Amino acid sequence: MLTVSNWTRFTATLAIAFAVGLAHAKPKAPSIEQLAAYPKLSSFSVSPDGKHIAALEGRGEDRVILVWKTDALDKVPTAIGSSRMKISGVQFIKNDLLAVTMFQPYDSRLDTLAKQFISKLFITDLAGKEWNEPMPQSRAMSRAEEKRQAVSSPGVLDTLPNDHDHILVVNDVGTTSGDVFKVNVRSNRAERIQRSDEKVAGYVTDLDGELRARTRGDVDGTGAYIAAEIREPGSGKWVEHFRSYVKNRDVVQIVGFAKDPNTAFLVTNVGQDKTAIYEYDVATRKRKEILFQHRFFDAARVLINRYKSAGDVAFGEVLGIGYDGPRGSIADVQWTAPKARAIEKAVRETLGIRAQPMTIVDPATGQSAQIDYDMDATFVLSAATADLSTVVVSLSGPSRPPEFYLLRDSKITLLSKAYPDIDPESLGKTRLIYFKARDGLDVPAFVTTPNKDLCGPGPWAAVVHPHGGPWSRDTLNFDGSMWVPLMASRCLAVLRPQFRGSQGWGRKLWTAGDAEWGQKMQDDKDDGAKWMIEQGIALRGRIAMFGFSYGGYSAFAASIRPHGLYKCAIAGAGVSDIKQIWAQFYTNPFFRERQAPTVEGLNPVDRAGAIQIPIMVYHGDRDQVVPLVQSDWFVSKAKGSKQPVVYHEIADYAHGPAWTRKIMGDQLRHIEDYLLRDCGAKGL
């Protein structure tokens, strides 16, 4: 192994040699097979005592769990596989036990045939010999109950890090659905500790693993609301402390507790555009100090040491604060604990992470500032022991596939690159920009420009690529869907606009999309396309729109609106009938008031027979989020227009997950072929 200081000199020398040797080498675009493959290694986890490391290894169409002894990484690891289900995640829940997530296709027929994927959580030992579900289920007494149990997946609420034998689990099936159980992972026996009901949205435990907070959704005379309730230690009674009405888009949420359980951490945006984190005195019902507030981004989470035996890291110590910056709250963390800050410093120096000037703008006020930010790549502490003596670090960026390193005893070792066969230089460069919408709103966006050595100088053919949701957002991270890497490596510029209605950029941008589907929300995307043309990034007349889910709706809308900027569109799993989608999924009063009023505007299926540009539509036959019929309706009418329509119904593909790597590759190939060789007969 290399020490931190030696590693710094080694990587600097290697970087110089590499740069000299490849100064004139042309980047190589990855193949579809390389983009569609499982990561070589991923999902690293460290046992709390630091004695073992687990990860997932991609082996063609399958993934297996590998388990190493930390002090013997050069030895052959234990491999744990599955013959029926496919493994999608692994994590230590005890020193000697792993939580393993698996999925598989599942067809059920009650009234109609439902094709879907089911995801299940299992607990196994480090050799993969004993397997149990986290929640033991009673014997099914009917065919319907058997089917409900088959698709159930109880969730782990708390791993109880200071308890060797137990975890807390929330059941999701049968008469006890929503109830909280304390499960003995040794005997697989469960004890119910909290009854619940369908109005409770979630529970929060204190540092001792006691249920202390929860949220409840309900409706009163004013409207639908979310109540934050806290449990009284003595009586066990749940008492409402805050009530916020969803129509106001207020956020009031308990996200954790200090070492003293009478101090809660409260995330709220009441009276302001961005969420902040406060300390809250439960007994007096008063806010105390502001723990964290960012001028431009939402505060999101508090990272706390929950282990009582953690060396010089104190029990209950705040390690850092996560906020919704350009990379989201997983990667954007302000570290506060001395040991965490020391690790941050060592990792940055050792791996050569350098911040660069970046301009950020507040959509709520139009004010701007320049900050130093890790533009090209940054790190995440993916897994760590309680005392932070053993840490797995993930290094990645929008054009840098994840790399995993082990930091242990002041030494750092490269564990694996997730995609060693993909040349990062072929993926272009991505940066955060802001453009002005036609009404003056500042709209954030991520723009990816192709590598000039591979693709020549701009402007280039381009794609406007809106995200799903729409109450969602993009980040300045590596795109694991491989859509952006695919397009950038094929010499297409890509713009991902954070259009009005996007969540995670403050209240104003979020609420500005209400009832503006296909209208101002769509204008934002068009204004982003115009910005690309004005900046010399995109070629006029050679711009497409491609989106999935709500992004698919946007592609439907782009194909209909007259005088558009797009040569063609691709709609993946798009919503074409906004009236039907809400009638099907949001029938209860809470959801009707919370989001249904925001979904107003252009209904694409009504005008599908008069599309203005060619379109490709694709949809998975196992999609249970946006039903396949949404694409069927649109395509059926669009074929009556004078424009070419291509339709791919993809077998064993859901709302994103693909059952095989071949299916994943087929989806990417459909996108590639259409953009490069079709899209108006000759491609972009």
CA distances (Å), 113 to each of 84, 152, 212, 264, 614, in order? 22, 18, 41, 46, 33
**CATH level 2 (architecture), domain 427-677:** 3-Layer(aba) Sandwich (3.40)
Neighbours of 232 (CB within 10 A): 12
Which helix (H) or strand (E) segment holds residue 346: the answer is: helix 338-351
Question: Average pLDDT in the 331-348 region?
Answer: 95
- Sheet hosting strand 52-59, strand order edge to edge: 41-46, 52-59, 62-69, 78-80
Tokens of 409: 């005893």
Closest CA to 26 of 397, 377, 423: 423
Q: How far apart are CA 556 and CA 268, in angstroms?
A: 36
CA neighbor of 490 nearest in space, from 531, 461, 458: 461
The predicted-structure confidence for 145-162, as pLDDT tens digits, reads as follows 777 777 778 899 999 999
Residue 13 has pLDDT above 60, yes or no: no
Residue 555 has pLDDT above 70, yes or no: yes
Provide the pLDDT for residue 6: 40
Q: How far apart are CA 431 and CA 436, in angstroms?
A: 16
Strand segments, DSSP code E, in 195-317 are 200-205, 211-219, 224-231, 238-245, 252-257, 263-268, 276-281, 286-292, 299-304
Average pLDDT of the chain, as a whole number: 91
Q: What is the pLDDT of residues 499-512, one digit of tens each?
A: 999 999 999 999 99
In angstroms, the CA 127 to CA 216 distance is 41
Q: Which amino acid is at 526?
A: D
What's the residue count for the chain?
A: 684
What is the C-alpha to C-alpha distance for residues 254 and 275, in angstroms, rounded to an integer?
12
Provide the whole-model pTM.
0.93
3-state secondary structure of 643: coil
32, amino acid identity: I
pLDDT at 667: 97
Residue 332 φ then ψ, to 5°: -90, 95
Structure token pair of residue 134: 């986290």
Residue of 405, 410, 412, 415 whose CA lies nearest to 389: 410
User: With pLDDT > 90 as the criterion, what percentage of the chain qualifies?
Assistant: 79
Write the pLDDT tens digit of every residue in 560-597.
998 889 999 999 999 999 988 766 555 555 666 666 67
The predicted structure's pLDDT at residue 583: 64
83-95 confidence digits (pLDDT tens): 889 999 999 999 9
pLDDT digits (tens, 9 = 90+) for 183-198: 999 999 999 999 998 8
- Give the containing element (helix H, strand E) for 448: strand 442-449
**H-helix or E-strand spanning residue 590:** helix 589-594
Residue-level pLDDT at 8 = 37
Q: What is the 3-state secondary structure (H, E, C) of 353-410?
A: CCCEEEEEECCCCCCEEEEEECCCCEEEEEEECCCCCEEEEEEEECCEEEEEEEEECC
Q: Tell me if 386 sits within 8 A of 313, measured CB to CB.
A: yes
675: closest CA among 572, 557, 579, 532?
572
Query: For residues 444 and 632, is the Cβ–Cβ distance under 8 A?
Result: no
Strands (E), 126-262: 131-132, 155-158, 166-170, 180-184, 189-194, 200-205, 211-219, 224-231, 238-245, 252-257
pLDDT at residue number 137: 77
- Is the separation of the CB atoms in 615 and 643 below 8 Å? yes
- The predicted pLDDT at position 245 comes to 87
**Cα–Cα dist 292/140, whole Å:** 49
Burial class (CB in 10 A: 0-12, 13-18, 19+), 295: exposed
What would the pLDDT profile of 449-467 be if each residue is shown by its tens digit? 999 999 999 899 999 999 9
- The pLDDT of residue 588 is 59
103 strand-pairing partners: 86, 119
Q: State yes or no: pLDDT of 635 exceeds 70.
A: yes
- Region 613-627: what's the mean pLDDT? 95
In this predicted structure, what is the pLDDT of residue 582? 64
Residue 13: burial class (beta carbons within 10 Å; 0-12, 13-18, 19+): exposed
pLDDT at 521 over 50: yes
Give the Cα separation of 416 and 40 in Å (integer). 8
Alpha helices by DSSP H, 238-332: none
Please, how many CA atoms are within 13 Å of residue 528, restricted to the half-sphere of its CB? 32
DSSP notation for 458-496? S-EEEEE---SSSS----SS--TTSHHHHHHHTT-EEEE
Higher pLDDT pick, 376 / 249: 376
CB atoms under 10 Å from CB of 341, counted, come to 14
Side-chain-side CA neighbours of residue 15 (13 Å): 10
CA distance 512 to 516: 8
Reported as a single tens digit per residue, the pLDDT across 347-386 is 999 999 999 999 999 999 999 999 999 999 999 999 999 9
Q: Distance between CA atoms of 112 and 380, rounded to whole angstroms?
A: 45
